[in-house]
Amino acid sequence: MKAILHFRKEDGSLIVGHIRDTDATAEIVNILAVAILARRTTAQLATMQYATHPPLTTSPSAYQSMIATEQVVIQQGN
């Protein structure tokens, strides 16, 4: 799976997300849509809690959106 996320430089809020190549694309797009509407920052998105049902959904530790956001947080030094 590939994830490309763009954050607003001024406040770190998520403004655009692109997800591809996964069976969980729709689920992750929904998470990103909520994050954009709620103006979640990099730190908030990296630590956001995900509810899952293992037989039906992907493990939250595998969510590329979370991994990509953690990389941004590390680069920012937060």
Q: How much is the pLDDT for 56?
A: 62
Q: Confirm if 65 and 28 have CB atoms less than 8 A apart.
A: yes
Q: What is the pLDDT of residue 22?
A: 72
Contact 47, 35 (CB under 8 A): no
Domain boundaries, the chain: 2-76
Dist CA 4 CA 60 (whole Å): 17
Residue recorded with tokens 């849509």: 33
Over 60: is that where the pLDDT of 78 sits?
no
Beta bridge partners of 17: 5
pTM of the model: 0.66
Instruction: Give pLDDT tens digits for 20-68.
Output: 877 777 878 888 898 899 998 888 887 777 666 666 666 655 566 777 7
